[in-house]
């Protein structure tokens, strides 16, 4: 059972007794199984349930199995989910029609549970090998490009302690990226971005965006002593707007300017990745900037926070908020703010937040997770 415990199967079957029997056997074998009574309901469940495999009857009311499969094929991502037809008939015509729709297997309803489970295991095993090959290729690409989207070292400037925790989804390079730029001993810039892509594919765009941000920061530093996060975002936005290669890719971006001389943090965001500020109380600050690349003349605003010794500021990507526990409940902003509110001066803040989050999700994350902590010294 342990090998199958995290694999999810969506069963689309209109006959309650057959659905109940299959769900019983799948659950007993260790799979997580949800059911739907026709193709329309099944299609609505796919995005929220995110199954590893779909098993669908052919003859169903309203939307039958063939129509359901056609609906999935219109979405390039949903079409990749392994698909098995479940049928009471084993006619040659049915089988050929199914394989024309790029399915993996047919299961006859009268097959023994052992045959059913063996076919399911075989399909998932093939897909797992294909995935391993894709992951290996992406890691090879990362090695060849010699590019990192998360730095090995933390930002080092006077008056601030900066740390981050970053965990990729199932060890696959993803869309979160961090950049640290030291301006001088008392000033530094922190960048946190999240490319909204499908798992490791977003990594390629994250590399491109990280390059844009680095260039924009360095241009701003050279062009003016009055560096602000909003000016950097404006420069990046104009570049992205005119670049057709990545203008259609959605990204959230947060930029912070740390200033030890003024004891302030200035913040601007596009998207929005908010920040959480902990002093005598805990507050969440949201920016008003739109996603990059939508409007060439988009306006971005700076928000300034005055800091006292021991105050803390946290940046995070939505993987922290949207990961779920075993019951399907999202972690959410309220739990994150509660973890931060409970921090004491004796805590290693990032470790405490990481422990709370990992305990809630049982260490199973649904996306890249990244959080940056800044403490005034």
Q: Which tens digits make up the pLDDT trace of 58-113?
A: 888 899 989 999 999 998 888 889 999 887 765 556 666 667 788 888 888 888 88
pLDDT at position 214 over 80 = no
The phi and psi torsions of 93 (rounded to 5 degrees) equal -65, -45
What share of the chain has pLDDT > 70, as a percent? Answer: 86
pLDDT over 70 (residue 199): no
Which of 198, 218, 254 lies closest to 372, judged by CA? 254
Report pLDDT for 147: 59
Confidence of residue 1 (pLDDT cuts 50, 70, 90): very low
In this predicted structure, the answer to whether residue 207 has a pLDDT above a threshold of 60 is yes
pLDDT digits (tens, 9 = 90+) for 37-53: 999 999 999 988 989 99
**In which band, very low, low, confident or very high, does the pLDDT at 193 lie, cut at 50, 70 and 90?**
confident
Are 140 and 201 contacting, i.e. CB atoms less than 8 angstroms apart?
no
C-alpha 173/C-alpha 373 separation (Å) is: 22
Please state, in angstroms and as integers, the Cα–Cα distance from residue 292 to each residue in 241, 252, 348, following that order. Answer: 7, 7, 34
Q: In what order do the strands lie in the sheet with 32-36?
A: 32-36, 8-12, 53-57, 83-87, 105-108
Q: Are the beta carbons of 83 and 62 closer than 8 angstroms?
A: no
Compute the average pLDDT of residues 225-236: 87
Q: What is the pLDDT of residues 302-351, one digit of tens each?
A: 999 999 999 999 999 888 988 888 888 889 999 999 999 999 888 899 99
Letter string b/e over residues 135-145, b meaning 16 or more CB atoms within 10 A of that residue's CB: beebeeebeee
Per residue in 125-158, pLDDT (tens digit) is 888 887 777 667 655 655 555 457 788 899 999 9
How would you write 170-202 as a 3-class SS string? CCECCCEEEEEEEEECCEEEEEEEEECCCCCHH
CB atoms under 10 Å from CB of 125, counted, come to 10
**Mean pLDDT for the chain overall:** 85
What pairing do the DSSP bridges indicate for beta strands 53-57 and 83-87?
A: parallel
Closest CA to 39 of 78, 13, 21: 13
Positive/negative CA dihedral, 142, 146, 151, 152: positive
The arithmetic mean of pLDDT across residues 249-268, rounded, is 91
The CA-to-CA distance between both ends of the chain, in Å, stands at 50
Q: What mean pLDDT do residues 21-27 have?
A: 92
Give 336: exposed, middle or buried? Use CB within 10 Å, 0-12, 13-18, 19+: buried
CB 174 within 8 A of CB 199: yes
Give the percent of the chain with pLDDT over 90. 45
pLDDT at 30 over 50: yes
- Evaluated on CA atoms 341, 319, 2, 110, the torsion sign reads positive
Residue 23 burial by CB count (10 A; 0-12/13-18/19+): exposed, middle or buried? middle
For 367, the enclosing helix (H) or strand (E) is none
Residue 189 reports pLDDT greater than 60: yes
Could you tell me what percentage of the chain is helix, strand and coil, using 3-state DSSP and rounding each to the nearest 5?
A: 40, 25, 35
42 near 56, Cβ under 8 Å?
yes
pLDDT in the model for residue 146: 47
For the chain, which domains are there?
2-143 (3.40.50.2300), 148-376 (3.60.40.10)
Structure token pair of residue 12: 């689309």
The predicted structure's pLDDT at residue 247? 61
Query: H helices within the chain, ranges in order?
Result: 16-28, 39-49, 65-73, 92-100, 113-145, 201-223, 229-241, 318-322, 332-341, 349-361
pLDDT at 305: 94
138 vs 166: which has the higher pLDDT? 166
- Mean pLDDT for 161-184 is 84
């Amino acid at each position: 059972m342990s090998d199958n415990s995290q694999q999810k199967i969506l069963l689309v079957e209109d006959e309650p007794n057959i659905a109940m029997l299959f769900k019983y056997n799948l659950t007993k074998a260790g799979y997580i199984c949800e059911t739907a009574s026709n193709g329309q309901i099944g299609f609505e469940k796919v995005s929220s349930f995110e199954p590893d495999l779909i098993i669908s009857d052919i003859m169903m009311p309203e939307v039958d199995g063939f129509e359901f499969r056609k609906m999935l094929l219109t979405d390039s991502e949903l079409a990749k989910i392994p698909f098995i037809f479940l049928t009471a008939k084993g006619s040659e015509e049915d089988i050929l029609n199914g394989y024309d729709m790029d399915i993996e297997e047919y299961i006859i309803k009268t097959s023994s549970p052992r045959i059913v489970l063996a076919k399911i295991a075989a399909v998932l095993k093939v897909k797992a090998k294909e995935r391993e090959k894709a992951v290996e290729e992406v890691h090879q690409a990362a090695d060849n490009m010699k590019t990192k989207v998360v730095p090995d070292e933390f930002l080092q400037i006077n008056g601030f302690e900066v740390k981050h925790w970053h965990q990729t989804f199932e060890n696959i390079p993803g869309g979160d990226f961090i950049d640290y730029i030291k301006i001088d001993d008392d000033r530094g810039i922190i960048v946190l971005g999240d490319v909204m892509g499908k798992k490791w594919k977003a990594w390629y765009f994250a590399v491109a965006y990280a390059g844009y941000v680095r260039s924009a920061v360095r241009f701003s530093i050279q062009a003016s002593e009055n560096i602000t996060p909003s000016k950097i975002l404006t420069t990046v936005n104009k570049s992205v707007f005119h670049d057709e290669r990545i203008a259609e890719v959605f990204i959230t971006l947060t930029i912070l300017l740390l200033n030890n001389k003024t004891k302030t943090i200035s913040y601007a965001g596009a998207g929005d990745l908010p920040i959480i500020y902990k002093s005598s109380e805990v507050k969440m600050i949201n920016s008003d900037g739109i996603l990059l690349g939508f409007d060439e003349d988009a306006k971005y605003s700076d928000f300034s926070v005055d800091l006292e010794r021991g105050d803390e500021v946290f940046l995070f990507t939505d993987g922290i908020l949207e990961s779920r526990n075993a019951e399907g409940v999202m972690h959410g902003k309220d739990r994150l703010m509660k973890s931060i509110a409970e921090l004491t001066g004796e805590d290693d803040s990032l470790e405490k937040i990481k422990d709370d989050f990992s305990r809630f999700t049982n260490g199973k994350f649904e996306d890249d997770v990244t959080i940056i902590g800044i403490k005034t010294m």
